[in-house]
Amino acid sequence: MLIGNVGADPELRYTPNGAPVAEFTMAVNRRYTTGDGEQKEETEWFRIVTWNKNAENVNQYLTKGQKVYVEGRFQSREYVGQDGNQRRAYEVVANMVTFLSGALERRDNENDEDVSKSQKTTTKGESIISDNSPQEEDDKDLPW
């Protein structure tokens, strides 16, 4: 679980099989007090990857600077860099992204009411759940 700000607009691409995948960076701040009583703040950057309908919604509604809540799993993967060397990438594969700010404002600026009515991501604080996660909702799991 991460809460932070989007570092750059998402980038959407498609796999050879046609599955949409979106990637964006996210800055998460951590505030703490040292043993000497000094207040400190550190920022960690995370690469977030989303798939399927979640990827399309993130690409359409998220912009740099928006506050988001992300749930997912941490993953590492290996690849060959442009220089021919083996590399390892670390990322969070999101199964849920909740817009905490800005989604409504972006939608209003686009004047796209037909799309907004069919999306789960049109208002502040709504969640989008990826196509590869369970879609069942159980009222007993709700916090209210």
User: How far apart, in whole angstroms, are the C-alpha atoms of residue 17 and residue 10?
Assistant: 20
Mean pLDDT, to the nearest integer, of 7-34? 96
User: How far apart, in whole angstroms, are the C-alpha atoms of residue 30 and residue 41?
Assistant: 6
pLDDT tens track for 78-108: 989 999 999 999 999 999 999 998 655 554 5
Share of the chain above pLDDT 70, in %: 70
- Locate tokens 């989303």: which residue? 50
Does residue 134 register a pLDDT over 50? no
pTM above 0.75, yes or no: no
User: How far apart, in whole angstroms, are the C-alpha atoms of residue 24 and residue 33?
Assistant: 30
Indicate the domain borders of the chain.
Answer: 2-133
pLDDT mean across residues, the chain: 79
CATH-assigned architecture of domain 2-133: Beta Barrel (2.40)
User: How far apart, in whole angstroms, are the C-alpha atoms of residue 56 and residue 40?
Assistant: 37
**Helix or strand holding residue 26 (H, E):** strand 20-33
